[in-house]
Amino acid sequence: MSRLGKKPIVIPQGVTVESTKSLLTVTGPKGSLTRVLRPEVALEVKEGEVTLTPQGDSVLGKKLWGTYAAHLHNMMTGVTEGYTRILELEGVGYRAEVKGKQLALSVGFSHPVALDIPEGISAAVEKGVITLMGIDKDALGQFAANVRKVKKPEPYKGKGIRYRGEHIIRKQGKKAA
């Protein structure tokens, strides 16, 4: 049984939740998000709160029950407050800049790496710090992971792209004889 799914989810002020047979739409002051619902979980909207229930005795329904509760909560937080991911560039000569709808990274390769910024995500760069903002937590986290994947922090000097607050386990390296 899902502890998250059992509790009704309160709809914040200024947010509307609409549910059709297979589509969930959450609209708020910052925008609108949609997600496809599987038939194993039923969603009911009434009197300022949303309740989720698994359909039948299927194992998949019980697994998805809490997952959809977490997705719904993340969608409500996204359309009211939004999400932010901060990445830091560590290394001599490592730079980033936003060029239109692309994020251009110069991170020690012979060429700059350009990444297309997805729709609904905005990026800002300031002195070795990349700030990504958006309302969709899934898309924002995936784009931040793609940016980090360009040059992961290496364990000897710690150079690369890291999340703010991420701790890199350092290796000792070679010792002189």
* CATH (domain of 153): 3.90.930.12
> Distance of CA 98 to CAs 65, 118, 122, Å?
40, 13, 10
Inform me whether the pLDDT recorded for 170 exceeds 80. yes
Domains of the chain: total: 2
Q: Is residue 27 domain-resident?
A: yes
Q: Are residues 98 and 62 in the same domain?
A: no
Q: In what order do the strands lie in the sheet with 16-19?
A: 16-19, 23-28, 31-36
Q: Are residues 51 and 117 in the same domain?
A: no
Q: Are residues 70 and 108 in the same domain?
A: no
Inform me whether the pLDDT recorded for 176 exceeds 80. no
| Per-residue pLDDT, 62 | 86
pTM of the entire structure?
0.89
| Per-residue pLDDT, 56 | 82
6-57 residue pLDDT tens? 888 899 999 999 988 889 999 999 999 999 999 888 888 888 899 988 888 8
The pLDDT mean for the chain works out to 91
Domain boundary among 80, 95, 124: 80
Instruction: Give the integer Cα–Cα distance in Å for 156 and 101.
Output: 34
Give me the domain span that covers residue 135: 83-163
Percent of the chain past pLDDT 90, that is, above it, reads 64
141-168 mean pLDDT: 93
Q: Are residues 35 and 73 in the same domain?
A: yes
3 CB contacts (<8 Å, ≥6 apart)? 66
Inform me whether the pLDDT recorded for 4 exceeds 80. no
72-86 mean pLDDT: 94
User: In this structure, what token pair is assigned to residue 165?
Assistant: 């607050």
| Per-residue pLDDT, 2 | 66
Q: Are residues 61 and 88 in the same domain?
A: no
Instruction: Give the integer Cα–Cα distance in Å for 9 and 40.
Output: 19
pLDDT band at 1, cuts 50/70/90?
low
110-132 mean pLDDT: 94
Inform me whether the pLDDT recorded for 126 exceeds 70. yes
> Distance of CA 108 to CAs 88, 154, 159, Å?
15, 13, 10
| Per-residue pLDDT, 177 | 66
